Structure 1
């Protein structure tokens, strides 16, 4: 957002996040946390154009594209247009194609389901690549702190902690 007194941060760069700046934070709070912060106006038309370019790249590989936001999507490449049996190699190719076409870096995560693929994508940001192989998926999920689960925020994590659920393993035990 803009640096006006009533504005909020729409998103924060990785550099700003190191100072504790995050989306939905009041602009004045963000400025106090990071005095050298530079506010830039949003360019929604450009974001939509770039998002469409990236979606075109996805569709070169599979028709099974499920957008999550302007800059994220789930792809099922089990059966794909390139006849490539390796989801990891496809993810690396897509990262390269996105960079070639847009000059933007993209993170990619590969796993057996959307939940773990999203966690894998976030694991090595920015410009990361992480694979959770099928044979390691259950152990990986069990070892995750509950705060690392996609969709679990501070309030939910606190409630889970109150119920002695701290890891994926704890959650699995409670789920029966």
Structure 2
């Protein structure tokens, strides 16, 4: 998902559309849980101190987190995933690996499944998702982050080595 907590808050609070928004507390010991893409333009990111976020963008809007809402939306997303496969490995509330090699809808291409899942999330939940398609989890994760927000990127087996060689090490998952 794209800026999951922040995107839910923007969906539920349209008055903040286009403004830098942070999910977190603005207190001196507060931490950014999620930052909208508008806030990210100022260099704000998750796990940053709220004080630093405010220094980077004095107009940033802080909204307290609503974990129960995020968990409920996550359940709705996973219900969409289960329409395609039961082989789901969650990474967090907003990320999961799906093995769609054999899928419930008998869709031939994983790319078409990713497009359909993205469409359903947008239509049903009013949120954008990014997807990565590849033949292993490491590459799929890198691909999912490569064209955010609302992206879809495929790393074909024939092009994987060349693609990975072109990336700075900071883009490697876990580094």
Q: Give the C-alpha shift of residue 9 in structure 1.
A: 0.9
SS for the counterpart of 1:80 is: coil
Give structure 2 stretches of 5+ with no counterpart. 1-23
SS for the counterpart of 1:10 is: strand
After superposition, give the CA deviation of every residue in 1:118-149 in whole Å (9 maximum; x if it has no partner).
Answer: 11110110010111112111221222221111
In the alignment, what sits opposite 2:133?
A: 110
What is the number of equivalent residue pairs in this alignment? Answer: 152
Within 5 Å, give how 1:3-152 maps onto structure 2. Answer: 3-152=26-175
Runs of 4+ in 1 over 3 A off after TM superposition: none
Structure of greater relative contact order (alpha carbons < 8 Å, 6+ residues apart): 2
Q: Give the C-alpha shift of residue 35 in structure 1.
A: 0.6
Q: Distance in 2 between matches of 1:6 and 1:145?
A: 33
Q: Distance in 1 between matches of 2:32 and 2:169?
A: 26
Give structure 1 stretches of 5+ with no counterpart. 153-176
- Which of the pair has more CA radius of gyration? 1
Q: Distance in 1 between matches of 2:168 and 2:25?
A: 35
Which deviates more from structure 2 when the two are superposed, residues 40-49 or residues 2-11?
A: 2-11
Q: Which has the higher strand share?
A: 2
After superposition, give the CA deviation of every residue in 1:70-118 in whole Å (9 maximum; x if it has no partner).
Answer: 1110000000001111000000000001111111010011011111111
After superposition, give the CA deviation of every residue in 1:145-171 in whole Å (9 maximum; x if it has no partner).
Answer: 21111111xxxxxxxxxxxxxxxxxxx
Q: Distance in 1 between matches of 2:165 and 2:51?
A: 40
In the alignment, what sits opposite 1:172?
A: none
Q: Distance in 1 between matches of 2:136 and 2:157?
A: 9
Q: CA RMSD, aligned part only?
A: 0.9
TM-score, normalised to structure 2, is 0.84
SS for the counterpart of 1:56 is: helix
Contact 1:65/1:75 (<8 A) preserved:
yes
